[in-house]
Amino acid sequence: MKAVFRHELASYFTGMAGYVFGAFLLLFAGIYTVVINVQSGLANFAYVFSNMSFLFLIIVPILTMGAVAEEKRQKTDQLLYSLPLTMTGVTLGKYAALLVVFLLPTGILCLYPLVLSAFGSIYGPLTIGTAVGFFFLGAALLAVGLFLSSITESQGVAAGLCFVVLLVNYFLSDLSDYFSNSAGAAFWTLTVLVVLVGVVFRLMTGSRLVSLALAGVLEALLLVLYVVRGEDFSLILPAMTSGLSLFERFYPFVDGVFDLTSIVYFLTVIGIFLFLSVQSLEKRRWSA
């Protein structure tokens, strides 16, 4: 893991990717700081983090697109499979390098409130809480991007797919308003999602038995909920759709609420997509 981490981290800073990422993030941070805190005279630095969250739609696909896809294209991933390394170690090494590249400009960004505090009052606890939420949001999105990079050999496809997935997640809360209020429609929509989950696990693990068992358990739970709580079932889909949005989980931090459930959700998303990345690499390892 350490060797992969050092190699990946060096690749980001021997090339331009790490510097461009940091410069892009700090550039917009400076613009928002001037507009929100200096020109508008607002002491709440959390608004800067809030307005910067949409930048993840651009920087995450660019940063993660070559994490695995480029190695697949150049066939250098075969070297990883021949080394005495587990795919878990490889995945964690790559992900840790992504986190460091993200953490460096974010750490510099956290110095901005200290500079502003010399000219006025900045509410420290709110700023710290929002910075923590901003980091966990970015960490979760990087895990998603790493997985999407692991399922293709094209950087362009990985970046485009990542952008679409993050864009849908960004507007997921708004899209939930358009879902039908019918309990039956909600049941069948969730059934389709269960099938998709089973297909994804089938592709990632290669085990038909595990995939069928997982889909069967989820569908049984879904059916029980539909029978027992049919009158409330129509509310499940909009609430679940809104709750799945990573960006919506970040906004409570901006409002001054340090939401531990959101932290748990971010960590869960990170764990799930790192697991899927490991399975994707394992599948290619044994099919190579």
Check residue 258 and give left, alpha or beta (phi > 0: left; psi -120 to 50: alpha): beta
Question: Could you give the CA distance from residue 140 to residue 200 in angstroms, rounded to a whole number?
Answer: 19
Residue listed under structure tokens 């690499």: 281
Comparing 193 with 263, which gets the higher pLDDT? 263
pLDDT in tens, 49-71: 988 988 999 999 988 988 887 77
Identity of the residue numbered 207: S
- pLDDT band at residue 203 under the 50/70/90 scheme: low
Q: What mean pLDDT is predicted for residues 202-206?
A: 65
Q: Among 8-12, 66-70, 132-136, 255-259, where is mean pLDDT lowest?
A: 66-70
Distance of CA 253 to the CA centre of its chain: 17
The radius of gyration of the chain from alpha carbons, rounded to an integer in Å, stands at 21
Q: Compute the Cα dihedral for 240, 246, 248, 249 and give only its sign.
A: positive
pTM over cut 0.95: no
Question: Could you give the CA distance from residue 78 to residue 94 in angstroms, rounded to a whole number?
Answer: 16
Specify the DSSP class assigned to residue 104: H
Question: Could you give the CA distance from residue 99 to residue 281 in angstroms, rounded to a whole number?
Answer: 20
How confident is the prediction for the chain on average, in pLDDT?
83
pLDDT in tens, 89-128: 889 999 999 999 999 999 999 888 888 877 777 777 888 8
Comparing 247 with 182, which gets the higher pLDDT? 247
- Taking a C-beta distance cutoff of 8 angstroms, is the pair 164, 240 a contact? no
- How high is the pLDDT of residue 61? 92
Comparing 252 with 119, which gets the higher pLDDT? 252
Tell me, letter by letter, the H, E, C secondary structure of 135-171.
HHHHHHHHHHHHHHHHCCCCHHHHHHHHHHHHHHHHC
List C-alpha distances in Å: 138 to 60, 100, 224, 250, 269: 8, 11, 36, 10, 11
- How high is the pLDDT of residue 67? 82
